[in-house]
């Protein structure tokens, strides 16, 4: 939490639309990810986390998949969640919003009894996640046309 923004689970009316708006801006418009790849059936059951400025403007978002939804991304281990769709508006980068969102997602994972969190990081973001305690494993692979690596952090 900061004086200029806060991070919370996206449960209030309109929160999910704010999450989707940030994702559209960052992934679809900025990075060119096809919209049909950006939004999926997991959005309905994921835990969405939202960073908002003090005046209510959304700054960033991320989501946590758990249970059966996460199994395909975590090697089938039901005690591991899957962090994904982490996005911060360009104007809010460098303010600690991304790190605060990751910690918010980890808190949500702990609340659900998970012991670790996996993610698929774009390779240019490996250092960001490493600074937060994530360790890369496995080979590089393409996702939405961009190189990624799997990473995990034990909670």
84-135: per-residue pLDDT in tens? 999 999 999 999 999 999 999 999 999 999 999 999 999 999 999 999 999 9
Banded model confidence at residue 143, pLDDT cuts 50, 70, 90: confident
**pLDDT value, residue 145:** 86
Banded model confidence at residue 25, pLDDT cuts 50, 70, 90: very high
**pLDDT value, residue 2:** 60
Comparing CA positions, the residue from 19, 28, 13, 17 lying closest to residue 104 is: 19
d(CA 12, CA 63): 15
| Other Cβ atoms closer than 10 A to 95 | 17
pLDDT above 90 covers a percentage of the chain that reads: 85
pLDDT, one tens digit per residue, over 27-60 is 999 999 998 889 999 999 999 999 999 999 999 9
d(CA 152, CA 155): 10
d(CA 141, CA 120): 9
**pLDDT value, residue 3:** 66
Sequence-distant (6+) residues with CB within 8 A of 93 are: none
d(CA 101, CA 62): 7
**pLDDT value, residue 144:** 83
Comparing CA positions, the residue from 120, 105, 121, 95 lying closest to residue 155 is: 105
Comparing CA positions, the residue from 55, 62, 54, 73 lying closest to residue 20 is: 62
Q: Which residue, chain included where needed, has tokens 């949500």?
A: 108
**Is residue 1 predicted with pLDDT exceeding 60?**
no
């Amino acid at each position: 939490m900061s004086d200029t923004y806060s991070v919370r689970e996206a449960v209030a009316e309109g929160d999910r639309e704010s999450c989707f708006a940030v994702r559209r801006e960052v992934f679809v418009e900025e990075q060119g990810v096809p919209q049909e790849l950006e939004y999926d059936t997991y959005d309905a059951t994921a835990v969405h986390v939202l960073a908002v400025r003090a005046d209510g403007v959304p700054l960033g978002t991320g989501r946590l998949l758990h249970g059966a939804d996460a199994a395909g991304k975590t090697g089938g281990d039901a005690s591991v969640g899957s962090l994904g769709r982490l996005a911060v508006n360009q104007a809010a980068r460098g303010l600690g919003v991304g790190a605060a969102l990751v910690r918010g997602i980890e808190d949500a994972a702990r609340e659900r009894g998970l012991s670790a969190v996996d993610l698929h990081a774009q390779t240019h973001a490996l250092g960001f996640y490493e600074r937060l305690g994530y360790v890369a494993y496995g080979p590089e692979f393409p996702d939405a046309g961009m190189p990624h690596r799997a990473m995990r952090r034990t909670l």
